[in-house]
Amino acid sequence: MPGRDHVRSLFDWLAPNYDAALLTFSLAQDLRWKSVLLRKLNPRAGERALDLACGTGLLYDRLARRLGPRAVVGLDVNRRMLASARRAGTVRQFVRADAVRLPFRPATFDLVTAGYLFKYVPLDQLARELRRVLRPGGRCGGYDFSAPLRETVAGRTYDRFLHDVLPQVARHWGRGDEGWAALMEFLGLITSTSGWETRIEPELRRAGFDLVELVPSLGGAITWVWARLPDGETAALDSPVASVPPALKRTGPERPLEPRSGRGPAG
Ligand SMILES: C[S@@+](CC[C@H](N)C(=O)[O-])C[C@H]1O[C@@H](n2cnc3c(N)ncnc32)[C@H](O)[C@@H]1O
């Protein structure tokens, strides 16, 4: 896991250009990924949501359009990323804090989202905090870059794209600013070595989530994570993995992750 200072200086540097860089380097796929996230989580009128690692507020804005700005809180550890989000003007509630030490009371949110956070944080702490701030039946969803599955053609292709093509594109895009190539090299390295995608499921189950789905996409280039808490407060924090039921099912990201209580359609 990269040091916090490294991550902080990375996003200090990136903040003013983050939105354009994300669009370019994800080949505009990120717009679609955020839509998939919202479709799957299916926010409903009356629900409260927390967007972890909200960055410049790209996902926050979409959540706020669905639920209303008062129902959504954006949280990020980086002052400059939050400053960019505030400048965008559409957002209302931002908090600067660490995703693994959330300044909220237990059972505050129905939904938690996290875009590109998992590779940066201790997953055991994150899972416990998710469990704590979500209401019974609460659901969370997120995605991040993950190690390509080299046994697949898509995975091998993406691996080359990540390690060979992207740093070159970044060099060109940055017009001589070596920071861009360094950023892409860092992302390539952390993506292939973090291993978050193999560690997160047991941590979520240990924390008490009883439905956890991991869905790799684009040859493993990104992995989706979906999780839901049981309706009652049944599983204790730190309960052993073996005591938690195995995955209930593995649905695709297109199928909404319904709250247990099965409330009415989206508002
Ligand atoms: C790539 S940006 C993602 C922004 C946004 N979620 C999106 O999908 O566009 C990653 C964000 O994670 C934030 N971050 C990294 N570590 C964090 C932590 N421990 N707690 C909160 N935010 C963190 C960074 O400051 C940065 O804004």
What pLDDT shows up at residue 247?
28
The confidence score (pLDDT) of residue 244 equals 25
Q: CA-CA-CA-CA torsion for 90, 94, 96, 100, nearest 10 degrees?
A: -120
Q: In this predicted structure, what is the pLDDT of residue 263? A: 41
Mutation test residue for ligand 1: of 29, 50, 116, the one with most atoms within 8 Å of CB: 116
What lines the ligand 1 site, CB under 6 Å? 7, 11, 22, 53-55, 58-59, 76-78, 81, 98-100, 115-117, 120-121
pLDDT tens per residue, the chain (267 residues)? 777 788 888 888 889 889 988 888 888 899 999 999 999 999 999 999 999 999 999 999 999 999 998 999 999 999 999 998 887 666 579 999 999 999 999 999 999 999 999 999 999 999 999 999 999 999 999 999 998 887 888 888 888 887 788 778 777 777 777 778 888 888 888 888 889 999 999 999 999 999 999 999 988 889 999 999 998 654 333 333 222 223 222 234 456 777 755 443 332
Structural domains of the chain sorted by starting position, each given as residue range(s) with its CATH number in brackets: 4-147+195-243 (3.40.50.150)
pLDDT of 123: 97
Q: How far is CA 189 from the centre of its chain?
A: 19
* Beta carbons of 48 and 71 less than 8 angstroms apart: yes
User: Are 25 and 86 a contacting pair, CB within 8 Å?
Assistant: no
99, 117 in Cβ contact below 8 A? yes
